[in-house]
Amino acid sequence: MAMPASTDRRLDKLIQLLIQNATVVVPGPKIASEIGVTRATVWDWIEKLRELGVEIKGLPATGYQLAKLPDVLVPALLGPELGEGEIGHKIVHYFRLDSTNAVALRMASAGARHGTVVVAEEQTAGRGRFGRTWYSEKSTGIYVSVILRPPLAPSAAPALTLMAGVAAQAAVERATGLVADIRWPNDLLLNGKKMCGILTEMSAEVDRLHAVVIGIGINVNHRGIPDELRPIATSLRIEGGKNYSRVQILAALLREIEQQYELLLREGNQAILGRWTAASSYARGKRVRVLTGSSEFHAVTSGIDPSGALRIRRDDGREESLVAGEIVELK
Ligand code: BTN
């Protein structure tokens, strides 16, 4: 299957040009000749950016000027925020996509390098855990997938999943000051409601992971949440009472993944499990309803085992490790 066409890199240049000339009106023909497209294309792209909420003043006859710094997740804006690391060395941007995880998995099987990032302003079929869909409103959230090629066995997958949660929690705190709780394995919650979900998908042989795709969805500037999700979901804007920069949050997220992933490779699972345990109120002593797909029961959490599984004690006294499934706090 052919890969969908990603955002034209010349649009990146258009944004760069507008930022570099933020204090003046840039004539349409000058933009067209500098980035190598027709004036009609410049007009089309300006309209597309406006649809995403980028405030650009001006008309084709007069020229264009940014009204304020844009918050679009394009390489031109993310690149300068990232260091020399591998995560995000290549960022593939889409305005609209079915699912960043689906495309990242296809890129991985076509040989995409470790650290390649796929990001979309909107998803039409965002995937959640357990075959659910992920609500992916245009331009308000972050929908991103990171391709990792860990030199590890498939048994490392649970630790990678926890690593992603730790990285997301740290990034949100760094970029917004909001301190989220982590619900096993890696949902982020604010005031008990979820504003970030992570779906880890992979291709592997028996003894070796080929590629791991970490898909992260963050509800950032959503003003409202659809009725059916309102009891369980929220956004950073709803909880923090103001808009946040998606560019700053995503850049922080990619930097954190770089650091936490290196820590995992260097020091092994224990370092990540320690951080996860410190950041999560669900690690110990939380009364939860456990849903495994085939069964549902009540239990109390009692730590994370060395592989990343959640230790639980059932109400009938039996202790076990939960490797997959979902938990919900019992109040
Ligand atoms: C969950 O159910 O909590 C996981 C949600 C994961 C959503 C993200 S959005 C970016 C990436 N692409 C997808 O299709 N899903 C993940």
* DSSP bridge partners of 297: 290
Instruction: Report the candidate in 211, 93, 202 with the shortest Cα–Cα distance to residue 144.
Output: 93
- Residue 212 and residue 206 in contact, taking contact as beta carbons nearer than 8 Å: no
Pair 310, 301: CB distance under 8 Å: yes
Query: Which residues are within 8 A (CB) of 22 and not within 5 positions of it... i.e. 6 or more apart?
Result: 65, 66, 69
Distance (Å, rounded) from C-alpha 168 to C-alpha 17?
Answer: 31
User: What would the two tokens of residue 119 be?
Assistant: 């990001």
Question: How many residues would you count in the chain?
Answer: 331
Atom of ligand 1 nearest to the CA of 141: 9
How many angstroms does the Cα of residue 138 sit away from the middle of ligand 1?
Answer: 15
User: From atom 15 of ligand 1, which residue's Cα is the shortest distance away?
Assistant: 127
- Predicted pLDDT at 331: 85
Task: Check: CB of residue 162 under 8 Å from CB of residue 198.
Answer: no
Q: Supply the pTM of this predicted model.
A: 0.95
**Residues near 250 by beta carbon (within 8 Å), at least 6 away in sequence:** 73, 78, 119, 142, 144
For the stretch 52-89, pLDDT in tens is 889 999 999 999 999 988 999 999 999 999 989 999 99
Ligand 1 pocket, residues with Cβ under 6 angstroms? 99-101, 123, 126-129, 132, 134, 143-145, 187, 197-199, 215-217
Q: Which atom of ligand 1 is nearest to the CA of 128?
A: 2
Residue 258 near residue 86, CB atoms below 8 Å: yes
What gap in Å lies between CA 225 and CA 215, rounded to an integer?
Answer: 21
Q: 183-237, pLDDT tens digit by residue? A: 999 999 999 999 999 999 998 888 889 999 999 999 999 999 999 999 999 999 9
Atom 7 of ligand 1: nearest residue by CA position:
217
